[in-house]
C-alpha cells in the first residue's frame, strides 16, 4: 500500500510539474479551446420547460374516435391472456407479452385488447396475439356500439392482424405515419383498453428504437415510456401530429403491470404487412435461403475484415435463390441493394421486404475481397404445420403440431447444420403428447426407428402406428443439445 501511495504522489508531482512547465501557454490554449466549444443544449427559444408542456387534449379528441376495444371468446384450450413469465435470469424474464399463455381453465375463455380503424369501410389493425385463438370477436367503437368482426389476415411473425367490421356509415379512421422519422425523445401518445377499463390515454416519449425481444426474426420494436398495460395490446401509438407510428405489443415488467417501458411494432413495418393482408389475406416475404450467424470481432479478424458488421453465411439451402446466385458457406453478406447489413436481423428484414422475382445486389466479402452477386429473390416457404390433434377423438387425441426445421428455427434452437428433423410447434393440453413428455421446441429426428425430415412424414409414421393398433411409438427427440427416446402413447 505504501508503494502505491508513493507511486501516486510521484505521478501527481509529474503532472503538477508538467502544468508548471507549460506556463501561461498551456492555460491560454485551454481557455481558447473552451471558448470555441459549447455544451450540448437547445436554444432557449426552442426549449419547452416541463411546467409549460402543451396539452394533448386536442390531439386526443381528434384521434380517439378511431380507437376501438376488442373482446374475444376463445375455445377452452386456448391460452388465457395474461402476462407470461419466461426463463429466469434472461432478458425474456422481464418481457411480458400482453395476453400471453397463463393458467388453463375449463369452458370458454374471454380476452380484451385494443385496435384502431385504418379505413372508413371498417378495416381494423390489432395484434395477432389478441385474436389468434378467437372463435368470436366483438369490436366496441368509441360511441359504445358493438360490431362482430372477422379476421381478414394474420401475421404471427410480426404480431400484426387485420380485422373487418361492417358499418352502414363511414367510420372515423387514422393513418400510419413514418416511424423512421420519429426521433428518440419525441412525444408519443398511447391509446387503448388497459385492464378492460375502456378507452384510456397515456403520454410519454420515444425512448429507444431497434429493440430485439427475441420474439421473431423481424423484431425491430420501438421502445416508449408511455405507460401501457395488459389490454393495450393492438392499440395505436401516436406521434404529436396524430399519425400512428407504432402498435402497442409488449411491456417490460417484473410484476405484470407497467413500469414505464413498453414496446411497439413500428408503423413502417406494420403498414407493409397490413397492405398485404388487406389485399390477399396473407403475407409473402422474400426468401434468400441461407442459415446465418452474427459476425464477431474475432470472426472479422479471421476473415480479414476491419469491421464486425455483416452476416456470416453458415449454410446455403440447396436450390434456394442464394445457391443459384453463387453464395457460398463462409461468405460474409455486407450489403443488400446498397444498404449496409449489420446483423442477421438486418439481413432477414431487408430480404423479407423484397418481393418474389425481384433482383437484388448482395455485397459479399469472400477470400479477402469485396464482390457483388445478383440474386433473384424467391418466396419464403410457408411454415406449414402438420397436426395430430384429432387423430383419436377429442378425449384421446395425440395433440401434436409439427413444423419444418427452417434455417430460422435452426438458428434460434442453436442446432448444427447437419441436424435433420421437425420441430414441435405445439402440444395440446391433456393430450397423449403432453402425457408422454413431449414439449414445444423439441426436435423430433426419428419416429419408430425411421429418420424424419418433414412434418408430413412424421404424421404418416405416427398414423401408421395407430392403424397397426400399437400402444406406443418411439420418438427420437433432441432437446437442449441432448438426444434421447420418448414413448408416445397411442392407446
Residues 132, 211: one domain?
A: no
Residues 81, 160: one domain?
A: yes
User: For 89-103, what is the mean pLDDT?
Assistant: 37
User: For 185-192, what is the mean pLDDT?
Assistant: 93
Q: How far is it, in rounded angstroms, from Cα 394 to Cα 372?
A: 56
Partners of 427 in the beta sheet? 400
| Annotated catalytic residue within 133, 155, 159, 346 | 159
Q: What is the pLDDT of residue 491?
A: 76
User: For 126-136, what is the mean pLDDT?
Assistant: 90
Q: How far is it, in rounded angstroms, from Cα 108 to Cα 214?
A: 30
Domain with residue 157: its CATH number is 2.40.10.10
- Asked, for residue 46, whether it belongs to a domain, the answer is no
pLDDT digits (tens, 9 = 90+) for 321-351: 999 999 999 999 999 999 999 888 888 888 8
Domain with residue 437: its CATH number is 2.30.42.10
- Asked, for residue 299, whether it belongs to a domain, the answer is yes
- The string of DSSP codes covering 136-202 is EEEEE-TTS-EEEEEEEEEETTTTEEEEE---SSPPP---B--TTT--TT-EEEEEE-GGG--SEEE
Q: How confident is the model at residue 37 (pLDDT cuts 50, 70, 90)?
A: low
Q: How far is it, in rounded angstroms, from Cα 93 to Cα 252?
A: 9
Among this protein's residues, is 233 annotated catalytic?
yes
Average pLDDT, the chain: 78
Among this protein's residues, is 367 annotated catalytic?
no
Instruction: Select from 379, 408, 443 the last residue of a domain.
Output: 379
Residues 427, 474: one domain?
A: yes
| Annotated catalytic residue within 200, 202, 207, 233 | 233
Residues 247, 340: one domain?
A: no
Residues 398, 435: one domain?
A: yes
- Asked, for residue 16, whether it belongs to a domain, the answer is no
Residue (of 359, 491, 371, 365) closest to 432 by Cα position:
491
- Number of domains into which the chain is organized: 4
pLDDT digits (tens, 9 = 90+) for 236-268: 999 999 999 999 988 876 666 667 788 999 999
> To which H or E segment does residue 58 belong?
helix 57-63
Instruction: Select from 266, 299, 318 the last residue of a domain.
Output: 266
Q: How far is it, in rounded angstroms, from Cα 142 to Cα 73?
A: 21
- Asked, for residue 370, whether it belongs to a domain, the answer is yes
Residues 395, 481: one domain?
A: yes
By CB neighbour count within 10 A (0-12 exposed, 13-18 middle, 19+ buried), where does 44 fall? exposed
Between 18 and 420, the more confident residue is: 420
- The string of DSSP codes covering 297-320 is HHHHHHTT-S---SEEEEEE-TTS
Residues 356, 326: one domain?
A: yes
Q: What is the pLDDT of residue 397?
A: 74
Q: How confident is the model at residue 76 (pLDDT cuts 50, 70, 90)?
A: low
Q: How confident is the model at residue 102 (pLDDT cuts 50, 70, 90)?
A: very low
Q: How confident is the model at residue 10 (pLDDT cuts 50, 70, 90)?
A: very low
- Asked, for residue 156, whether it belongs to a domain, the answer is yes
User: For 458-474, what is the mean pLDDT?
Assistant: 88
Residues 158, 141: one domain?
A: yes
User: For 43-70, what is the mean pLDDT?
Assistant: 75
Q: How far is it, in rounded angstroms, from Cα 77 to Cα 17?
A: 78
| Lowest-confidence pick of 151-165, 366-380, 391-405 | 391-405
Instruction: Select from 379, 398, 432 the last residue of a domain.
Output: 379
Among this protein's residues, is 129 annotated catalytic?
yes
Residue 105 pLDDT exceeds 50: no
Q: All 3 cell numbers of residue 29?
A: 490554449
Q: All 3 cell numbers of residue 173?
A: 379512421
- Asked, for residue 41, whether it belongs to a domain, the answer is no
Residues 445, 467: one domain?
A: yes
Pairing of strands 146-155, 200-211: unpaired
Residue (of 272, 182, 162) closest to 224 by Cα position:
182
Give the domain extent around 146: 60-164
Spell out the residues 6+ positions from residue 357 whose beta carbon is closer than 8 angstroms to its own.
Answer: 376, 377
Pairing of strands 160-164, 221-224: unpaired
Report field, pTM of the whole predicted structure over 0.75? no
- Asked, for residue 53, whether it belongs to a domain, the answer is no
- Asked, for residue 32, whether it belongs to a domain, the answer is no
| Annotated catalytic residue within 71, 114, 129, 200 | 129
Amino acid at each position: 500500500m505504501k508503494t502505491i501511495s508513493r507511486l501516486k504522489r510521484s505521478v501527481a508531482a509529474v503532472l503538477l510539474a508538467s502544468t508548471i512547465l507549460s506556463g501561461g501557454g498551456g492555460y491560454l490554449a485551454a481557455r481558447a479551446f473552451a471558448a470555441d466549444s459549447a455544451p450540448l443544449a437547445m436554444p432557449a427559444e426552442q426549449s419547452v420547460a416541463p411546467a409549460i408542456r402543451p396539452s394533448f387534449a386536442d390531439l386526443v379528441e381528434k384521434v380517439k374516435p378511431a380507437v376501438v376495444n376488442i373482446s374475444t371468446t376463445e375455445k377452452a384450450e386456448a391460452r388465457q391472456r395474461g402476462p407470461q413469465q419466461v426463463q429466469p435470469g434472461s432478458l425474456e424474464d422481464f418481457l411480458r407479452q400482453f395476453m400471453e399463455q397463463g393458467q388453463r381453465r375449463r369452458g370458454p375463455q374471454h380476452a380484451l385488447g385494443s385496435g384502431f380503424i385504418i379505413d372508413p369501410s371498417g378495416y381494423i389493425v390489432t395484434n395477432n396475439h389478441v385474436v389468434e385463438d378467437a372463435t368470436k370477436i366483438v369490436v366496441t367503437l368509441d360511441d359504445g356500439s358493438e360490431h362482430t368482426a372477422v379476421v381478414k389476415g394474420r401475421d404471427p411473425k410480426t404480431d400484426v392482424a387485420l380485422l373487418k367490421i361492417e358499418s352502414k356509415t363511414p367510420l372515423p379512421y387514422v393513418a400510419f405515419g413514418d416511424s423512421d422519422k420519429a426521433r428518440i425523445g419525441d412525444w408519443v401518445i398511447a391509446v387503448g383498453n388497459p385492464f378492460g377499463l375502456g378507452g384510456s390515454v397515456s403520454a410519454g416519449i420515444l425512448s429507444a428504437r431497434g429493440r430485439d425481444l427475441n420474439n421473431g426474426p423481424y423484431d425491430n420494436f420501438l421502445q416508449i415510456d408511455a405507460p401501457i398495460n395488459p389490454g393495450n395490446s393492438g392499440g395505436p401509438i401516436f406521434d404529436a401530429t396524430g399519425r400512428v407510428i407504432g402498435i402497442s405489443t409488449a411491456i417490460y415488467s417484473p410484476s405484470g403491470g407497467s413500469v414505464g417501458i413498453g414496446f411497439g411494432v413500428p408503423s413502417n413495418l406494420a403498414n407493409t404487412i397490413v397492405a398485404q393482408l388487406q389485399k390477399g389475406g396473407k403475407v409473402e416475404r422474400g426468401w434468400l435461403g441461407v442459415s446465418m450467424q452474427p459476425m464477431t470481432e474475432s470472426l472479422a479478424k479471421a476473415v480479414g475484415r476491419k469491421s464486425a458488421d455483416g452476416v456470416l453465411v453458415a449454410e446455403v439451402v440447396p436450390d434456394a435463390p442464394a445457391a443459384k446466385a453463387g453464395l457460398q458457406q463462409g461468405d460474409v453478406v455486407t450489403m443488400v441493394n446498397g444498404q449496409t447489413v449489420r446483423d442477421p436481423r438486418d439481413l432477414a428484414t431487408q430480404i423479407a421486404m423484397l418481393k418474389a422475382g425481384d433482383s437484388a445486389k448482395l455485397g459479399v466479402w469472400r477470400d479477402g475481397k469485396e464482390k457483388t452477386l445478383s440474386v433473384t429473390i424467391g418466396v419464403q416457404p410457408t411454415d406449414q404445420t402438420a397436426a395430430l390433434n384429432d387423430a383419436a377423438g377429442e378425449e384421446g387425441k395425440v395433440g401434436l403440431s409439427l413444423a419444418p426445421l427452417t434455417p430460422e428455427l435452426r438458428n434460434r434452437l442453436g442446432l448444427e447444420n447437419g441436424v435433420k428433423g421437425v420441430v414441435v410447434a405445439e402440444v395440446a393440453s391433456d393430450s397423449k403428447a403432453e402425457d408422454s413428455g413431449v414439449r414445444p421446441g423439441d426436435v423430433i429426428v426419428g419416429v419408430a426407428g425411421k429418420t424424419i425430415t418433414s412434418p408430413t412424414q412424421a404424421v404418416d409414421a405416427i398414423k401408421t402406428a395407430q392403424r397397426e393398433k400399437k400402444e406406443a411409438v418411439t420418438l427420437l427427440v433432441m432437446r437442449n443439445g441432448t438426444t434421447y427416446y420418448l414413448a408416445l402413447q397411442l392407446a
